[in-house]
Amino acid sequence: QEQLVESGGGVVQPGRSLRLSCAASGFTFSNYGIHWVRQAPGKGLEWVAVILHDGTNEYYADSVKGRFTISRDNSKNTLYLQMHSLRGEDTAKYYCARDSGLRVLEWLLDHWGQGALVTVSS
């Protein structure tokens, strides 16, 4: 069945960088857009970014624009989130989630990974 597995989380100092990965299996990865959604401890869900199925376009939340970059390698069935200039408010569990649309963004998240925890602290 469809599966998404995040990795790369950890503790990082403010101002430093970190890259998250999301490995996909059980579906044709190159046919679907993939989102990153984060959740600060004890808080609600915040959408972070999305990349189209073929990597030709991305969208970002204002809170991360210019600091985070979403990318994908369809040959490896893997999504990435490169995070620079990290701040305390970036501390959260980061989920990758599949968009439900086939080769088009529907902005509905039908499968989610279990998340990777990123803690920004000195």
Partner 1 sequence: EVVLTQSPATLSLSPGERATLSCRASQSVGTYLAWYQQKPGQAPRVLIYDASNRATDIPDRFSGGGSGTDFTLTISSLEPEDFAVYYCQQRSDWPPLTFGGGTKVEIK
CB of 109 to partner 1, least distance (A): 6
Nearer to partner 1, 65 or 75 (CB): 65
How far is it, in rounded angstroms, from Cα 5 to Cα 96?
8
Point out which residues bind partner 1 (CB under 8 A): 35, 44-47, 50, 59-62, 95, 97, 100, 106-110, 112-115
Cβ of residue 13: shortest distance to partner 1, in angstroms?
A: 27
Measured from the CB atom, the residue of 68 and 115 that comes closer to partner 1 is 115
The pairing of strands 10-12 and 3-7 is: unpaired
Compute the least distance from the CB of residue 8 to partner 1, in Å: 17
Pull the structure tokens for residue 66.
């210019």
**What minimum distance in Å lies between the beta carbon of 118 and partner 1?**
16
Is 77 or 100 the residue whose CB approaches partner 1 more closely? 100
CB closer to partner 1, 35 vs 53: 35
